Chains A and B, each alone.
Chain A
Amino acid sequence: MTIEKVHPPIAEDTTGLGAPGHLGVRRRPPWLSVTLRASVPALLLAAWWYGSASGVLAPDVLAGPGAVLGALGELAETGQLADYLLASARRALLGVLVGGGLGLLLGVLSGLSALGEELVDPTMQMKRAVPFLALSPLFISWFGVGESFKVVLIAVATAGPMYAYCYLGVRGVDRKVVEAARGFGLRGPRLALGVIIPSALPNILMALRISMAVSLTALIAAEQIGATEGIGYLVTLAQQYYRNDYMVLCVVIYAVLGLVIDLAVRGVERLAMPWRVR
């Protein structure tokens, strides 16, 4: 039996052809990702170390890692470091709780209802345009220079970004899903808590991250006046006594705090949004 060739023989010449380029997302091993993430900070640290050790960086321009570690040890020994961190953390947390809570509530409200948007949004946009530092003198005249002034300043500073991002998040929720949920009888708080807010959670957590960062800025302003402890106070101290090692230590503390906040919120994201397919 013979096999009839129906098709003409295929030409061997494949000039101009090639495997298709990969256009999808490349999966990278986690160890590589972690190493790359850590590499740039590590490089900066090494450069700092080398610069100080070789004398290129004068100690009164940028204190070396040894001096900064010494300052850290000094503070830790007297127990001041822990006291300062705790005092600042308490102020920041209270401020974020009050300001962020209010921002969240108003943002969700104006995102959810047209009436809420009309009543709340113009005022919040105006408020957002006012730098919170400009309110500092006014708050001092109202509250004095005690704890309440500090908490209020942080609260006011964090309410703005919290509001803006929550509003955007709620507005960005898929209207079609909301419409379907309404069709299945979900109304009012059940609709907001069960469907809309979980869907807006990525934005809400981003708002939290930004609010915490803003609270660090607000701490410096708040603790410049009428404070005897706190990391903002530490900045003031370093400036007054012209201690370069303390100035650099403050920078390092802020950097570490930023990292800790970031990791904490990432952890919350992982726990609070298990439906995100990674």
Chain B
Amino acid sequence: MSDLAVRIRGLVKAFDGRRVLDGVDLDIRRGEFFVLLGPSGTGKTTLLRVLAGLERPDAGTVLVPDRRTTVYQEPRLVQSRRVLPNVTLGLPRAAREDGRRALAEVGLAGRERAWPATLSGGEAQRVALARALVRDPQLLLLDEPFAALDALTRLQMQQLVAELCARHRPAVVLVTHDVDEAVRLADRVAVLRDGVFAEDRAIDLPRPRDLDDPAFTEHRRAFLTRLGVVSH
């Protein structure tokens, strides 16, 4: 089996003639936590949607594993189904036990029979996470999954995602505009600019990561500079 989870060569995707992705090359190893960092409009989400099969590339090759799941910015739960059937959506009945276990893993044991409309934003997003994890993905796609959460819930969710990914070891592509989030979670962070990668940097800090670690600060500063938020 290949050591790769994602291979992209010469990916082009244009909207109304504007090349959002203009010849992107990318390899992601199995089990690698890859973060796409940058402001909106730079093609991060488009790249993720291409990987999810939601957008067709205009040119180039894109190779991904069979089992891949997505968590979006909104939970996107089916309102007419209770929490557990939402988690096992599209899976055979036999997967119910796995669904229960996944819910327990995200800290929602006992909420199997709740309706989605009765959950808080953080809970709903944890259900979405359980729904992605229960399929034992080889590639987990996270499209700004914490962006709509409050700051405290966001920190808890980042912690949870870090733990779950360390345990299950899927390859992860996380799209975010939060530099701290990127440096905290990533094995590797890349920044898109003008349709190609302007930066692609490994983060080899020990885990769990300390935001006060000077090395952490250095990475943060480098990315903020790259993104044009601070100057030297």
A183 nearest CB neighbor, chain B only: B70
Q: How far apart sit A201 and B81, CA to CA, in the bound complex (Å)?
A: 13
B54 nearest CB neighbor, chain A only: A179
Q: How far apart sit A274 and B115, CA to CA, in the bound complex (Å)?
A: 9
Confirm or deny: A277 has a beta carbon within 8 angstroms of a beta carbon on chain B. Answer: yes
* A177 and B89 form a contact (CB under 8 A): no
- A186-B90 in contact given A176-B72, A277-B118 (Cβ < 8 Å): yes
Task: Give A72 Cβ to nearest chain B Cβ, in Å.
Answer: 43
Task: Give A166 Cβ to nearest chain B Cβ, in Å.
Answer: 16
CB-CB < 8 A to A138: which residues of B?
none
Confirm or deny: A189 has a beta carbon within 8 angstroms of a beta carbon on chain B. Answer: no
Interface residues of B in 64-116 (CB under 8 A from A): 69-70, 72, 74, 76-82, 89-91, 115-116
Confirm or deny: A199 has a beta carbon within 8 angstroms of a beta carbon on chain B. Answer: yes
CB-CB < 8 A to B117: which residues of A?
275-277
Q: How far apart sit A177 and B91, CA to CA, in the bound complex (Å)?
A: 16
Task: Give B135 Cβ to nearest chain A Cβ, in Å.
Answer: 7
Main secondary structure of the interface of B (DSSP, over half): loop
* B76 and A275 form a contact (CB under 8 A): no
Confirm or deny: B161 has a beta carbon within 8 angstroms of a beta carbon on chain A. Answer: no
CB-CB < 8 A to B74: which residues of A?
176
Interface size range on A against B = 20 to 34
Total count of chain B residues near the partner, CB < 8 A: 23
Task: Give A263 Cβ to nearest chain B Cβ, in Å.
Answer: 23
Which of B72, B115, B135 touches A180 (beta carbons < 8 Å)?
B72
CB-CB < 8 A to A180: which residues of B?
70, 72, 76
Q: How far apart sit A75 and B218, CA to CA, in the bound complex (Å)?
A: 92
Q: How far apart sit A180 and B82, CA to CA, in the bound complex (Å)?
A: 16
* A183 and B52 form a contact (CB under 8 A): yes
* B90 and A275 form a contact (CB under 8 A): no
Q: List 26 A-B contacts (CB under 8 A).
A: A177-B76, A179-B76, A180-B70, A180-B72, A180-B76, A181-B78, A181-B89, A183-B53, A183-B69, A183-B70, A184-B135, A185-B90, A185-B91, A186-B90, A194-B81, A195-B78, A198-B81, A199-B78, A199-B79, A199-B80, A273-B80, A274-B115, A275-B79, A275-B81, A275-B115, A277-B118
Using a CB–CB distance below 8 Å, which chain B residues touch chain A?
Answer: 52-54, 69-70, 72, 74, 76-82, 89-91, 115-118, 131, 135
Using a CB–CB distance below 8 Å, which chain A residues touch chain B?
Answer: 174, 176-177, 179-181, 183-186, 190, 194-195, 198-199, 201, 273-277
Taking A181-B89, A183-B53 as known contacts, 20 extra A-B pairs with beta carbons closer than 8 A to each other, sorted by chain A number, are A176-B74, A177-B78, A179-B54, A179-B76, A180-B70, A181-B90, A183-B69, A184-B69, A184-B90, A184-B91, A184-B131, A185-B90, A195-B89, A198-B80, A198-B81, A199-B78, A201-B80, A273-B80, A275-B82, A277-B117
